[in-house]
């Protein structure tokens, strides 16, 4: 229960702190700089998490059942393409990354094995995973605040999730990880698919409310004029 509470609080408060800081700082092009900086930090944390887990074993050889692989690893790769590829491919990855932002959190809520390790007594790898979830939410919010996410992004997000599910099946079957293809695994995957539509729905609602607010501001300005 404490882990779940920590995951939720860190995931919520990390983007809140960053976004409040951005509002107070008020510097030109701060959005882009934040996105790039957080993407590099995300990669550094994911690599650090792997090396932290590796340090617990002789010769840094991680047993197959303890390899820290989950959707967040794939999300890190997609994030780099979304941030640094400025072409059409980058747009596709942006949509897929933003709409799957809740998946690492959902997977952690249903399966603690994605962030726990028996030798992680100081909870270093766990803390890194929680912080990465917060970084994912922050980057996706910043991207969605300046880039239009189309309905097609739901398809690309679903494809990304299908790719992960296929890879996870292969890893579980041939690598012998702690996970297993069970009913809970299937439920987690279904909830992850639902979260894609939920995030897109919230995005559309936010866009609608933003347009409404702008229209009110313009009308108010006309009345005052």
pLDDT at 192: 96
pLDDT at 224: 57
**Is 137 in contact with 130 (CB distance < 8 Å)?**
no
pLDDT at 122 over 80: yes
pLDDT at 216 over 70: no
The tens digit of pLDDT for each residue in 4-50 reads: 999 999 999 999 999 998 888 777 778 899 999 999 999 999 999 99
Of residues 201 and 172, more confidence is placed in 201
**Residue where the block lists tokens 């979830």:** 133
d(CA 48, CA 179): 22
Q: Give the burial class of 124: count Cβ atoms within 10 A of its Cβ; 0-12 exposed, 13-18 middle, 19 or more buried.
A: middle
Its sign, for the CA torsion 10, 116, 124, 67, is: negative
Domain boundaries, the chain: 2-224
Q: 154-188 b/e with 16+ CB inside 10 Å = b? A: bebbbebbeebbeebeebbeeeebebeeeeebeeb
pLDDT at 137 over 80: yes
d(CA 48, CA 21): 26
The tens digit of pLDDT for each residue in 142-193 reads: 999 888 899 999 999 999 999 999 988 888 777 766 667 788 889 999 999 9
d(CA 134, CA 125): 15
- Region 124-140: what's the mean pLDDT? 95
């Amino acid at each position: 229960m404490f882990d779940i509470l920590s995951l939720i609080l860190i995931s919520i408060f990390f983007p809140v702190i960053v976004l409040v800081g951005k509002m107070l700082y008020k510097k030109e092009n701060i959005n882009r700089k934040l996105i790039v900086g957080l993407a590099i930090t995300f990669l550094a944390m994911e690599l650090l998490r792997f090396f932290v887990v590796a340090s617990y074993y002789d010769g840094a050889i991680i047993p197959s059942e303890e390899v820290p692989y989950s959707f967040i690893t794939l999300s890190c790769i997609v994030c780099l393409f979304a941030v640094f590829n400025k072409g059409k491919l980058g747009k596709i990855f942006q949509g897929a990354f933003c709409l799957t932002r809740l998946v690492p959190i959902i997977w952690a809520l249903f399966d603690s094995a994605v962030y726990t390790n028996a030798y992680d007594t100081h909870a270093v790898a766990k803390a890194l995973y929680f912080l990465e979830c917060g970084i994912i939410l922050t980057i996706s919010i910043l991207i969605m605040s300046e880039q239009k996410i189309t309905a097609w992004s739901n398809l690309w997000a679903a494809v990304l999730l299908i790719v992960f599910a296929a890879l996870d099946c292969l890893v579980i079957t041939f690598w012998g990880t702690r996970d297993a293809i069970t009913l809970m695994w299937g439920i987690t995957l279904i909830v992850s698919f639902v979260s894609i539509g939920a995030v897109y729905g919230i995005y559309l609602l936010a866009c609608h409310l933003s347009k409404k607010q702008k229209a009110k501001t313009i009308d108010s300005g006309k009345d005052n004029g």
